């Protein structure tokens, strides 16, 4: 039964405009770092962990709070959440535009991620509440999904074009991307004041203990994993982070089992088919995002492809979801969402295996693949995502009782977003750990061959490969300061610095760093391919009820 209360004040047209603009804005903001990771590496001289945080912290704001954002909108009015989310996007985008350090950029992305986390569910709920006609609601959902995909397409084009056309000797053009986000978000704030509010407070209650334990548990576990990118899994902070995260997530399960109004209905997981679908959502979206993150680093930062080329490649990843949206919707309605999901994961697996065969970390001028060689596998990756994005939810809701459809959809969304978060995080741990280990076996020989003293070789061998690539001057400056502090004569210090800056030595070190990280990311592609293959197989084990097409009534219930 629909208990939604819709205000008669405000404009219906502005409500539709705000809903569609909000999701396009949130998705555009979300996808920007994918095209700019190479730029951030150079701009901020960031470490592997820092680069991972920039990408992952945005998604964390969504996955940790999205269930509560939807609940707050139901309880206190969705219009307030729409305005508040838009305002946070303004603040986060301003901070991103003026960021000068990795830490500042991470904080900025956290703010913009929380704001976007409010926008994703609220706009759709507002427009879906305007009609009780299930057929019209289905068309609203399809249009909303189209604007979601449009934002993903706009993002790489916007970020690369601004860098190309607004970069000067004294200004970094990519910052204009975030100023455009600011302008659009301010427009959204203005429009939002004229929208029709809605709420659905009946039977809804806040689950504060559940939200606190869930969010803090995820944050602690993610902190530990990202810290391990640079520090290793044996580091004390990493161990403590995992212990705290595990305890909090166990506490979350205990709280939810006892709560009369749980944030997450754990009884859903007693359904074997739903549990399989949830596992597939996490692992499958991990595979997709791990491949996307690897592409942004290997093409932009390692292969040094032109900025515009990186943007074009990400259009091939994001574009199919927009172009194929009507076809995918038709297949989900009239065929089997399970087979659509299986086909999607098969496409992702083929793309990832194909990319793992590339010679990564080597610019085209030195024998690496041209940027155009990436088009075909990335197009397959994009098609795979287009097929899986909607069918994951369709499979989930087709395996639960009608009264559980809303919670099943929301839970599947959390699982999918968790996979999105884990993609860059686990991908970074694998790539930078393997790359660092491989680089460590080579750097010592290069430095010894350059006639550096043994203690200098030992110290410099501890610098990770990304440090040599993104912060050469900083590494050399810190090394020379340490040598000077040890009492070495200035002439000796200058001689060591000159040796390191010799073109042959510098080229050998950076070439080894590129190749080592390229090998690490090649392994990430391989893991992504295996993960997608596992998902394709697991979908075949989901019960036959998943072959029942999703009806318009069921689709409408997703946002009721």
Counting Cβ atoms within 10 Å, is residue 113 exposed (0-12), middle (13-18) or buried (19+)?
buried
**∠ CA 151-46-348 to the nearest 5 degrees?**
45
Q: Which H helix or E strand runs over 5?
A: strand 5-6
Backbone phi and psi for residue 195, each to the nearest 5 degrees, phi listed first: -85, 165
Higher pLDDT, 146 or 294: 294
With 90 as the cut, is the pLDDT of residue 305 above it?
no
Hey, which residues does 5 pair with through a beta bridge? 199
Question: At residue 546, does pLDDT exceed 70?
Answer: no
Residue 146: band (very low, low, confident or very high) from pLDDT cuts 50, 70, 90: confident
pLDDT score of 438 more than 50:
yes
Average pLDDT, the chain: 86
Query: Binning pLDDT at 50, 70 and 90, where does residue 337 land?
Result: confident
Among 348, 332, 324, 318, residue whose Cα is nearest residue 392: 332
The more confidently predicted of residues 338 and 14 is 14
Please determine, for residue 125, whether its predicted confidence score (pLDDT) is greater than 90.
no
pTM for the whole structure: 0.84
Q: What is the pLDDT confidence band of residue 292, given thresholds at 50, 70 and 90?
A: very high
pLDDT for residue 550 is more than 60? no
Q: What would the mean pLDDT of 347-368 be, rounded to a whole number?
A: 90
∠ CA 425-309-284, rounded to 5°: 35
Give the pLDDT band (50/70/90) at residue 417.
Answer: confident
What is the mean pLDDT of the segment spanning 405-427?
83
What's the CA gap between 226 and 141, in Å, rounded? 35
Give the pLDDT band (50/70/90) at residue 82.
very high
- What is the reported pLDDT for 357? 94
Torsion angle (degrees, nearest 10) of CA 98, 100, 101, 104: -20
Of 294-298, 333-337, 417-421, 438-442, the range with the lowest mean pLDDT is 333-337
Judged against a pLDDT cut of 70, whether residue 560 lies above it is answered with no
User: Distance (Å, rounded) from C-alpha 197 to C-alpha 8?
Assistant: 8
Whether the per-residue pLDDT at 521 is higher than 60: the answer is: yes
Q: Which residues pair with 6 in a beta bridge?
A: 198
CA 433 → CA 68, 163, 427, distances in Å? 35, 31, 10
Question: How much is the CA Rg of the chain, to the nearest whole Å?
Answer: 24
Summarize the confidence of residues 39-47 as an average pLDDT. Answer: 80
Please tell me which of 54-58, 100-104, 119-123, 361-365 the model is most confident about, judged by mean pLDDT. Answer: 100-104
pLDDT above 90 for 73: no
Give the per-residue pLDDT at 134.
63
- pLDDT of 402 over the 70 cut: no
Averaged pLDDT for residues 295-310: 82
Closest CA to 113 of 417, 413, 409, 411: 417
Tens of pLDDT, residue by residue over 193-234, are 999 998 888 777 888 999 999 999 999 999 999 888 888 888
Residue 365 makes CB contacts below 8 A (sequence gap 6+) with: none
State yes or no: pLDDT of 428 exceeds 50. Answer: yes
Q: How confident is the model at residue 108 (pLDDT cuts 50, 70, 90)?
A: very high
Provide the token pair at 131: 């009609």
Q: Which of 20-24, 44-48, 104-108, 338-342 shows the lowest mean pLDDT across its residues?
A: 44-48
Band (548; pLDDT cuts 50, 70, 90): very low
SS3 track for 161-219: HHHHHHCCCCCCCHHHHHHHHHHHHHHHHHHHCCECCEECCCCCCCCHHHHHHHHHHHH
Answer yes or no: are the C-beta atoms of 540 and 388 closer than 8 Å: no
């Amino acid at each position: 039964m629909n208990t939604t209360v819709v205000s008669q004040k405000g404009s219906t047209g502005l409500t539709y405009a705000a809903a569609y603009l909000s999701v396009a804005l949130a998705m555009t903001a979300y996808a920007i770092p994918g095209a700019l990771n190479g730029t951030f590496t150079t701009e901020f001289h960031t470490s592997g962990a820092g680069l991972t945080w920039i990408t992952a912290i945005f998604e964390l704001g969504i996955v940790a709070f999205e269930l509560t954002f939807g609940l707050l909108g139901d309880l206190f009015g969705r219009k307030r959440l729409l305005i508040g989310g838009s305002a946070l996007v303004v603040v986060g985008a301003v901070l991103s535009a003026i960021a000068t350090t990795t830490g500042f950029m991470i904080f900025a992305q956290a703010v913009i991620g929380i704001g976007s986390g409010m926008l994703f569910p609220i706009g759709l709920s507002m427009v879906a509440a305007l009609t009780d006609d299930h057929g019209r609601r289905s068309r609203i959902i399809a249009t909303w999904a189209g604007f979601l995909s449009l934002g993903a397409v706009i993002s790489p084009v916007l970020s690369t074009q601004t860098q190309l056309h607004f970069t000067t000797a004294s200004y970094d053009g990519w910052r204009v991307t975030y100023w455009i986000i600011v302008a659009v978000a301010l427009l959204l704030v203005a429009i939002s004041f004229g929208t029709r509010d809605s709420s659905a407070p009946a039977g809804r209650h806040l689950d504060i203990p559940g939200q606190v334990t869930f969010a803090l548990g995820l944050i602690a576990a993610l902190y530990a994993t990202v810290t391990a990118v640079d520090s290793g899994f044996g580091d004390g902070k990493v161990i403590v982070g995992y212990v705290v995260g595990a305890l909090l997530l166990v506490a979350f399960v205990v709280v939810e089992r006892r709560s009369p109004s749980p944030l997450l209905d754990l009884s859903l997981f007693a359904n074997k088919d739903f549990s399989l679908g949830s596992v597939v959502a996490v692992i499958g979206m991990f595979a997709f995002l791990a491949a996307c993150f690897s592409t942004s680093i290997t093409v932009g930062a390692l292969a040094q492809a032109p900025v515009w080329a990186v943007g074009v490649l990400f259009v091939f990843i994001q574009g199919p979801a927009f172009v194929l949206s009507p076809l995918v919707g038709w297949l989900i309605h009239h065929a089997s969402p399970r087979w659509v999901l299986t086909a999607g994961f098969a496409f992702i697996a083929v793309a990832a295996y194909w990319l793992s065969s590339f010679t990564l970390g080597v610019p085209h001028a030195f024998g690496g693949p041209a940027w155009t060689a990436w088009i075909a596998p990335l197009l397959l990756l994009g098609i795979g995502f287009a097929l899986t994005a909607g069918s994951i939810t369709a499979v989930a809701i087709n395996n639960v009782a009608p009264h559980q459809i809303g919670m099943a959809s929301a839970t599947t969304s959390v699982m999918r977003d968790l996979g999105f978060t884990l993609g860059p995080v686990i991908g970074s741990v694998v790539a930078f750990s393997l790359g660092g280990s491989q680089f460590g076996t080579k750097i010592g020989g290069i430095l010894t061959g350059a006639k550096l003293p043994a203690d200098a070789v030992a110290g410099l061998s501890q610098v990770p490969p990304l440090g040599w690539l993104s912060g050469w001057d900083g590494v050399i400056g810190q090394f020379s300061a340490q040598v000077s502090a040890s009492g070495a004569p200035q002439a000796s210090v200058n001689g060591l610095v000159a040796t390191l800056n010799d073109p042959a030595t510098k080229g050998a070190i950076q070439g080894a760093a590129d190749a080592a990280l390229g090998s690490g990311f090649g392994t990430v592609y391989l893991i992504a391919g295996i993960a997608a293959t596992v998902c394709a197989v697991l979908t075949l084990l989901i019960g036959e009820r998943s072959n029942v097409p999703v009806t318009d009534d069921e689709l409408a219930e997703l946002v009721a």
